[in-house]
Chain A
């Protein structure tokens, strides 16, 4: 169980985490979702007692991290992809970690086996690929057989097989009744792995919900893709009847606020040519983008606009 209460952290004038409160419960995988730079890692470091919050508290199993009696037996964490000395072997890295919390050598062999690094245990970790490094980090997290597991972007740098493996591992850990908290900036990955979500943007809580609810919410407004040789005329016709229209490329309009049936009827009424009319469901990614759009710190607005107008015909500017 992890409880964050009004966690706040600022660096000078920059607010990294802003009165963030949430709970992470045992038995399910909880995804910690937010764009890059939204404060996920800072939050995790505050939970781990590595960074001191300016205000608020984070409790793990009811205690501040510093007060845990055997930290590694209560909390296992994967923080950085390569938080180990490159000159040390995988085995020796796990050995010094284990010794801090009086964990025996047998457990080292066990976790090496779980992550599939047994055959390279004697190799220096600096020679490892990013994926192997992640596995070593995960082995370190599992070392104390903890009830709470925190993974910061665990699938970064993993190949598809590795990603599947992490997904299975996280779900297996949760099914054993552990608290599993996984950060990611990839909504699709989270929708496959997590059951619950804590979504943040610019350090503030956007949503604390289940993946199912989040998907339902986000499916939200249906959109219809309309392809027509006369987008300019179609655009004003649609706007006349109150539809929201965005131009995707020249000749392709994304229409919301009207069903495909209504658009088809309108086309017949005004004798407009339709080449394609397709209802589009908003993807999870769209929903995520929508939710966090106000909260993204760095956005390539300019580049996006330039690309659109450069690729479009004269009609395009009006359409937008």
Chain B
């Protein structure tokens, strides 16, 4: 039996580059990754087609007022991408706990902050690419449909439009990272998903009955009314403020996730 290996001697130590490669392999080698991201793109474009087609051909009243924002209108479907990319982030963490892979991971990379950093960078990068792709695609498809009717259209050259489209894509990456943090904190898929859905979809509904004024600080209103808007909306923070706020939420959740991961037995 040959158990002796052919490994070259190393003097250095395992580091971020190794763990990054490993984490990317983990994502790449699961079929669910591809399906999830495909659903995010296709689903969002589907919603975009329905929404923009309705505005362009059936509900002329929508754009005859002064506040019509074709950019914002075409990015409505990103709500679906938000849901799917949040789930994607949650599963990137809970998948490890559910299967026991977390023990293999931490045995291979016992420096836990390094492990989490690599996961954050890989999940964040993948979600950023998908977020930008889906955001630009939705904008393009939406404007094409507006152009086929009589509705006004937006172009990326107009002030604020490129910013809205790009920032919306980046916002989705923050959502995925928040999901990842919740996954690490709660470990169980069902629990982490419930909290994610509660914070994104339920919280604004509940808060609207308590203080309608403050729902502008919650994730979905930030995306729909601030980040993806070109025409300023009422009861909304500005796009940069909204994005910074979401970044702050994400960093806070990731900080909590790091603290929990460091203290907890695997």
Contact = CB atoms under 8 A, between A and B. Distances in A.
* A pairs with B: yes
Interface of A: 45, 48-52, 65-66, 68-73, 75, 77, 79-80, 82-89, 92, 95-97, 99-104, 106-107, 110, 114, 140, 142, 144-145, 168-169, 172-173, 176
Nearest to A143: B5
B109 to A, nearest CB: 5
Given A69-B13, A79-B103, A85-B101, A101 B30 contact: no
25 contacts: A49-B110, A50-B103, A50-B107, A69-B10, A71-B109, A73-B10, A79-B104, A83-B104, A84-B99, A84-B100, A85-B26, A87-B30, A96-B25, A97-B108, A100-B22, A101-B14, A101-B18, A102-B14, A102-B18, A114-B2, A142-B5, A145-B7, A172-B1, A172-B3, A176-B4
A77 B265 CA distance: 17
A82 B106 CA distance: 15
Given A83-B101, A100-B108, A101-B108, A73 B29 contact: no
A45 B265 contact: yes
Interface string B90-117: 0000011001110111111111000000
Contacts of A73: 7, 10
A82 B100 contact: yes
Contacts of A65: 110
B266 interface: yes
Nearest to A172: B1
Contact of A176 (B3, B13, B32): B3
Interface of B: 1-7, 10, 12-14, 18-19, 21-23, 25-26, 29-32, 95-96, 99-101, 103-111, 265-266
The residue among A66, A86, A96, A173 with the most chain B CB atoms within 10 A of its own CB is: A96
A85 B1 contact: no
A101 B107 CA distance: 11
A176 B4 CA distance: 9
What 9 A-B pairs are tightest by C-beta distance, nearest first? A145-B5, A92-B29, A83-B100, A99-B22, A51-B265, A100-B108, A96-B25, A50-B266, A69-B13
Contacts of B25: 92, 95-96, 99
B107 A77 contact: yes
Given A50-B266, A51-B265, A107-B6, A114 B18 contact: no
B170 to A, nearest CB: 27
Contacts of B12: 69
A72 B23 CA distance: 16
Contacts of A70: 10, 13-14
A80 B110 CA distance: 17
Contacts of B2: 110, 114
A173 B14 contact: no
A96 to B, nearest CB: 4
Contacts of B111: 66
Contacts of A104: 7
Nearest to B23: A96
Nearest to B264: A52
Nearest to A165: B1
A172 B4 CA distance: 11
Given A51-B265, A142-B3, A85 B107 contact: no
A51 to B, nearest CB: 4
Nearest to A126: B99
Contacts of B23: 96
A169 B3 CA distance: 9
A66 B7 contact: no
A89 B107 CA distance: 20
Contact of A97 (B10, B30, B104, B265): B104
A79 B14 CA distance: 22
B7 to A, nearest CB: 5
B1 A96 contact: no
B5 A110 contact: yes
A84 B96 CA distance: 8
Nearest to B29: A92
Contact of A96 (B13, B29, B106): B29
Contacts of A86: 99
A84 B104 contact: yes
